[in-house]
Amino acid sequence: MAADTHKLAIFRGLLKFKSNQQKIWGVLIFLSIVTTIEVVLGIVKPASLMTMFLGMKLLNWIFIILTIVKAYYIAWDFMHIRDEKSSLQSSIVLPLLILIPYLVFILLVEADYIFEVMRNGFVSWNF
């Protein structure tokens, strides 16, 4: 991969960098901002975000979405997936994108079911 094949635009072309090095620093700043937001939210824990949404606190959903955003930029810009052929991009991302949500879905639903059974069951397990 030659130095001139880097794609230098992030945020769908909203932000264009002059060189690959500048892009790296730009992504670092973006990742730091996201991490700072996460840490501040984690310390402050605003009461307005404590409402439940789809079985989880709104704040937790925000954390998970921000984490996936960070993961995207680490993979796309630091691991250079942005510069790879789209066939390679799909080969890497699709298996993970299909298998992980599937695993998360079945195991968390099952765990929630077990929680209900243990809470409403006749056997005292927490003594």
Partner 1 sequence: MEVTAANSADSTSVWGGGNQPLNASYGKLMMWFFIVSDALTFSGFLVAYGFSRFKNINTWPIADEVFTHFPFLHGVDAPMYYVALMTFILIFSSVTMVLAVDAGHHMNKAKVTFYMLLTIIGGAIFVGSQAWEWKNFIKGEYGALETRGGQILQFVNADTGKRVSLAEVANPQQQIRETHQAYNGIWYQQEGTLPTYTVSEIQSGFAAQNNLTIRTQELTADGQKTVLSRTDALEKIQAAQNVVEGANLIHNEYGNRLFADFFFFITGFHGFHVFSGVVINIIIFFNVIVGTYERRGHYEMVEKVGLYWHFVDLVWVFVFTFFYLV
C-alpha to C-alpha distance for 114 and 40, rounded to whole angstroms: 34
Helix (H) or strand (E) holding 57: strand 56-57
Cβ at position 54, least distance to partner 1 in Å? 13
Compute the C-alpha angle 93/96/97, nearest 5°.
80
Cβ at position 13, least distance to partner 1 in Å? 20
Q: In terms of Cα–Cα distance, which of 114, 110, 111, 112 is closest to 123?
A: 114
Q: Which of residues 71-100 bind partner 1 (CB under 8 A)?
A: 71, 74-75, 77-80, 84-88, 90-92, 95-96, 99-100
Amino acid identity of residue 36, one-letter, is T
**Distance between start and end Cα atoms, the chain:** 62
2 binds partner 1 (CB under 8 A): yes
Footprint of partner 1 (CB under 8 A): 1-3, 20-21, 24-25, 28, 31-32, 35, 38-39, 41-43, 50, 60, 63-64, 66-67, 70-71, 74-75, 77-80, 84-88, 90-92, 95-96, 99-100, 103-104, 107-108, 110-112, 114-115, 118-119, 124-127
